[in-house]
């Protein structure tokens, strides 16, 4: 049988497995999702998909089956005989009072609805979990393609190898003379491309790894490896935050890749970069500032990095030279005995049966090289378990035995860098609650009372006082058909969001639109004598370094770091009370050293209020300022997934591994001054 090269592509119909369409996984019913509460009875809705009104017939049939087994329908699911539970889940021919018929279990019922949806979504989809395709075993290809062997291995077996193992396989491939003539050039090209991936620190990735599961740093290095292998010259490369999500060890490898591009005769322009190692490795540095927003926009420095350190105007130079930045915390917090979250037997992805404790009432940093398993442990297991235990709707957690200590937590909040809203309606003023208090002040003015205006009149999110031409957004959308839509200021309200009557009301000489146009700093000064409900959030926003934002600035225009600090500011303004676990994944992405310093201060303030902060971070500035460090590794992918060290930053720095080496430098333990941006 002769098989053409394109037939080995799972993206083409004649190569992909027909049962999973080349995806490698199919959706199948999951007993844990179908029966989430074992204490409920069938009558009370233990079988979650049959709680909906349209499935009333299925629920009644299930009750009849339970009764036919001589079991009370009110009995909790946990107490049902195993055979009965199997029938309810998977169905079979059963005897019901007066007749014998086939009972369709809930899992076949869900499968039938999935087939009827023909690839589209359907209401019961939330009860399905992706599992490897039984036909191809997750290999994505047809049986004919999987049967072809090279060097004793099929293409799916080779794709499942890590990059380093795949390179070893092709380097040691023994071919006959005729085969060597046909494929020698292809093998050389394969080896070169695999070597490029190893050079940028991605030797642990498997070739069949889905792109959506790659971290930001991994995806960017994959693209860089492709560019290095082109052997082109005379090109201009523009990169934006290429170190996002990278451990210091990975940054060193990235710098080597950038230098290789430069040495080949290319120009490498890093548009935005805050990492000290990349800045120090640059041939030329251009710095803008001195601050953000309207306080920035000036050229502070342009020249070699040696001159940057001695520049008095340069903010970055001050940090690099050690003139700025505060020292370490005066003390490390210690959790009370028994007050900790303990993850047992974590085996999701590359985690190798990890048992690890997260002390409560501390800033806990989780470190390790890219691909070590940090996000899997914290986000996919710890956060999801706590959220679901507290009644949240987080996705099912990754594979693990159990998580102990969840009863000690009252809330869990994942503070990421996603936008604070999906439209111009979400602003710093609305997210932090400032606008609610400001609307109350406007409603108390004499003119507002005379006109009968309530606080709702001054909301641009509801009819009454907003401009109806733009529905309170201040802009109108102009459809460009084959081009992206264009947003223009509303001609009716001039972008103010409100109608003329609402704008006729002023508070101390300012309209509501003029207040929203203020920066946070201006508003804090303007409302300095007003109630704490107004002053408090404004003060906190200034303290986290966001005084330059405008109160009415659309949330979609904020950077990831700005959005994250707005969320943290909103939390700081809440009343201290219920114990909250804050989960942050790479919070320093896109932040300058000055902003990192403020972020670390915010985290410690949250913990001082009786909460816990669990931070996944590669930034040694964050790690060295934490109370407790959990270091995973020692490498990435199959070489990771193990606990390398736990303890205070000083204890972790005294050990071995990539994090220990860089943490010693950050703490100044190896004769090198400590790094920047600490508490």
Rounded to whole angstroms, the Cα distance separating 310 from 300 reads: 13
Q: Would you say residue 390 has pLDDT above 50?
A: yes
DSSP state of 393: -
Instruction: Give the residue among 354, 335, 379 at the shortest CA–CA distance from 614.
Output: 379
Residue that is written with structure tokens 């023909």 in the block: 118
Do residue 652 and residue 536 come from a single domain?
no
Query: Is residue 256 included in any domain, yes or no?
Result: no
Query: Is residue 198 included in any domain, yes or no?
Result: no
Least confident of 274-278, 322-326, 501-505: 322-326
Rounded to whole angstroms, the Cα distance separating 371 from 636 reads: 4
Q: What is the domain range of residue 69?
A: 25-132
Do residue 405 and residue 438 come from a single domain?
no
Q: Would you say residue 677 has pLDDT above 60?
A: no
Task: State residue 91's pLDDT score.
Answer: 86
Rounded to whole angstroms, the Cα distance separating 104 from 112 reads: 10
Do residue 410 and residue 446 come from a single domain?
no
Query: Is residue 591 included in any domain, yes or no?
Result: yes
Do residue 532 and residue 649 come from a single domain?
no
Mean pLDDT of 623-652: 92
> CATH number of the domain that 74 lies in?
1.10.8.280
Q: Would you say residue 545 has pLDDT above 50?
A: yes
pLDDT tens sequence across 4-41:
556 788 888 888 898 888 888 888 887 888 888 888 99
Task: Report percent pLDDT > 70 for the chain.
Answer: 94
> CATH number of the domain that 516 lies in?
1.20.1580.10
Output the CA torsion sign for 333, 337, 340, 344: positive
Rounded to whole angstroms, the Cα distance separating 274 from 277 reads: 9
Output the CA torsion sign for 193, 198, 202, 204: positive
Do residue 509 and residue 574 come from a single domain?
no
Task: State residue 157's pLDDT score.
Answer: 92
Domain count, the chain: 3
Question: Reduced to 3 states, what is the DSSP secondary structure of residue 456?
Answer: helix
Q: Would you say residue 644 has pLDDT above 90?
A: yes
Instruction: Give the residue among 612, 577, 621, 652 at the shortest CA–CA distance from 362.
Output: 612
Residue 136 near residue 16 (C-beta atoms within 8 A) = no
Task: State residue 95's pLDDT score.
Answer: 55
Question: What's the token pair of residue 436?
Answer: 């609610």
Task: State residue 324's pLDDT score.
Answer: 65
Q: Would you say residue 94 has pLDDT above 80?
A: no
Q: Would you say residue 526 has pLDDT above 90?
A: yes
Q: Would you say residue 210 has pLDDT above 60?
A: yes
pLDDT tens sequence across 372-388:
899 999 999 999 999 99
pLDDT tens sequence across 138-195:
889 999 889 998 888 999 999 989 898 999 999 998 888 887 888 888 899 999 899 8
Do residue 649 and residue 500 come from a single domain?
no
Do residue 433 and residue 553 come from a single domain?
yes
pLDDT tens sequence across 557-588:
888 888 888 998 888 887 767 899 999 988 88
Query: Is residue 452 included in any domain, yes or no?
Result: yes
pLDDT tens sequence across 300-337:
999 999 999 888 888 888 888 876 665 566 678 987 88
Domain end residue (candidates: 132, 155, 182) = 132
Mean pLDDT of 604-619: 93
DSSP state of 352: -
Instruction: Give the residue among 183, 177, 207, 178 at the shortest CA–CA distance from 193.
Output: 207
Do residue 545 and residue 567 come from a single domain?
no
Rounded to whole angstroms, the Cα distance separating 422 from 557 reads: 10
pLDDT tens sequence across 582-600:
999 888 877 888 888 888 9
> CATH number of the domain that 627 lies in?
3.40.50.300
Question: What's the token pair of residue 446?
Answer: 């004499």
Task: State residue 301's pLDDT score.
Answer: 93
DSSP state of 353: S
Task: State residue 529's pLDDT score.
Answer: 92
Do residue 375 and residue 415 come from a single domain?
yes
Domain end residue (candidates: 534, 557, 580) = 557
Instruction: Give the residue among 285, 213, 201 at the shortest CA–CA distance from 249.
Output: 201
Q: Please count the CA atoms within 13 angstroms of the CA of 566 that sit on its side-chain side.
A: 30
Binning pLDDT at 50, 70 and 90, where does residue 672 land?
A: very low
Do residue 510 and residue 573 come from a single domain?
no
Query: Is residue 69 included in any domain, yes or no?
Result: yes
Do residue 525 and residue 594 come from a single domain?
no
Do residue 435 and residue 538 come from a single domain?
yes
Q: Would you say residue 220 has pLDDT above 80?
A: no
Query: Is residue 628 included in any domain, yes or no?
Result: yes
> What letters, b where the CB count within 10 A reaches 16 and e where it falls short, cover 481-506?
eeeeeeeeebeebebbbbbeebbebe
Domain end residue (candidates: 99, 132, 165) = 132
Residues 6+ apart with CB under 8 A from 16: 9, 10, 22, 140, 141, 142
Query: Is residue 323 included in any domain, yes or no?
Result: no
Exposed (0-12), middle (13-18) or buried (19+): which is 115, by Cβ within 10 Å? exposed
Q: Would you say residue 675 has pLDDT above 90?
A: no
Beta bridge partners of 48: none
Q: Would you say residue 434 has pLDDT above 50?
A: yes
Query: Is residue 502 included in any domain, yes or no?
Result: yes
Strand residues in 170-275 grouped as ranges (E): 236-240, 267-272
């Amino acid at each position: 049988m002769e098989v053409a090269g394109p037939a080995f592509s799972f993206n083409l119909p004649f190569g992909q497995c027909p049962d999973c369409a080349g995806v490698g996984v199919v959706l199948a019913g999951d007993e844990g999702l179908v029966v989430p509460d074992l204490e409920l009875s069938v009558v009370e809705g233990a079988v979650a998909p049959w709680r909906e009104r349209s499935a009333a017939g299925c629920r009644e049939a299930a009750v009849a089956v339970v009764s036919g087994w001589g079991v009370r329908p009110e009995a909790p699911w946990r107490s049902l005989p195993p055979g009965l539970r199997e029938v309810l889940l998977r169905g079979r021919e059963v005897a019901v009072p007066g007749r014998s018929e086939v009972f369709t279990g809930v899992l076949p019922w869900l499968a039938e609805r999935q087939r009827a949806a023909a690839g589209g979504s359907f209401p019961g989809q939330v009860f399905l979990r992706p599992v490897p395709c039984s036909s191809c075993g997750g290999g994505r290809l047809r049986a004919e393609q999987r049967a072809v062997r090279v060097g004793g291995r099929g293409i799916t077996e080779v794709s499942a190898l890590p990059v380093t193992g795949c390179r070893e396989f092709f380097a040691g491939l023994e071919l006959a003379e005729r085969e060597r003539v046909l494929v020698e050039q292809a093998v050389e090209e394969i080896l070169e491309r695999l070597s490029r991936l190893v050079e940028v620190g991605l030797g642990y990735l498997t070739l069949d790894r889905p792109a959506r599961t790659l971290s930001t740093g991994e995806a960017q290095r994959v693209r860089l490896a492709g560019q290095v292998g082109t052997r082109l010259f005379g090109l201009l490369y523009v990169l934006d935050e290429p170190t996002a999500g990278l451990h210091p060890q990975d940054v060193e490898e990235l710098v080597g890749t950038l230098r290789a591009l430069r040495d080949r005769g290319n120009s490498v322009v890093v548009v935005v970069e805050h990492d000290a190692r990349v800045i120090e490795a640059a041939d030329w540095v251009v710095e803008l500032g001195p601050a953000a927003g309207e306080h920035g926009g000036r050229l502070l420095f342009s020249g070699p990095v040696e001159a940057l350190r001695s520049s008095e105007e340069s903010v970055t130079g001050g940090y690099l030279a050690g003139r700025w930045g505060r020292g370490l915390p005066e003390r490390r917090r210690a959790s009370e005995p028994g007050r900790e979250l303990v993850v047992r037997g974590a085996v999701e992805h590359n985690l190798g049966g990890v048992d690890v404790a997260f002390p409560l009432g501390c800033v806990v940093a989780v470190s390790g090289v890219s691909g070590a398993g940090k996000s899997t442990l914290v986000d996919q297991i710890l956060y999801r378990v706590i959220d679901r235990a507290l009644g949240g709707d987080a996705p099912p957690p990754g594979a693990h035995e159990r998580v102990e200590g969840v009863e000690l937590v009252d809330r869990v909040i994942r503070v990421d860098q996603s936008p604070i809203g999906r439209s111009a309606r979400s602003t710093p003023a609305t997210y932090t609650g400032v606008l609610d208090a400001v609307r109350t002040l406007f409603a108390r003015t004499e003119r507002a009372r005379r006109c009968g205006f309530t606080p709702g009149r001054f909301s641009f999110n509801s009819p009454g006082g907003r401009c109806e031409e733009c529905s309170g957004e201040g802009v109108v959308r102009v459809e460009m058909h084959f081009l992206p839509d264009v947003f223009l200021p509303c001609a009716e309200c001039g972008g103010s969001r409100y109608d003329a009557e609402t704008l006729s009301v002023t508070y101390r000489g300012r309209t509501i639109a003029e207040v929203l146009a203020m920066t946070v700093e201006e508003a804090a000064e303007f409302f300095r004598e007003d109630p704490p409900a107004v002053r408090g959030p404004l003060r906190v926003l200034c303290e986290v370094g966001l005084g330059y934002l405008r109160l009415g600035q659309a949330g979609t225009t904020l950077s990831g770091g700005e959005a994250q600090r707005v969320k943290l500011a909103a939390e700081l303004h809440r009343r201290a009370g219920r114990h909250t676990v804050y989960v942050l994944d790479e919070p320093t992405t896109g932040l300058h050293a000055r902003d990192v310093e403020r972020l670390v201060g915010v985290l410690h303030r949250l913990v001082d209020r009786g909460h816990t902060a669990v931070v996944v971070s590669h930034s040694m500035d964050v790690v060295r300022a934490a109370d407790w460090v959990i270091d995973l590794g020692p490498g990435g992918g199959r070489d990771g997934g193990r606990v390398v060290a736990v303890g205070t930053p000083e204890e972790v720095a005294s050990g071995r591994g990539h994090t220990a080496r860089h943490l010693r430098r950050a703490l100044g333990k190896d004769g090198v001054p400590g790094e920047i941006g600490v508490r």
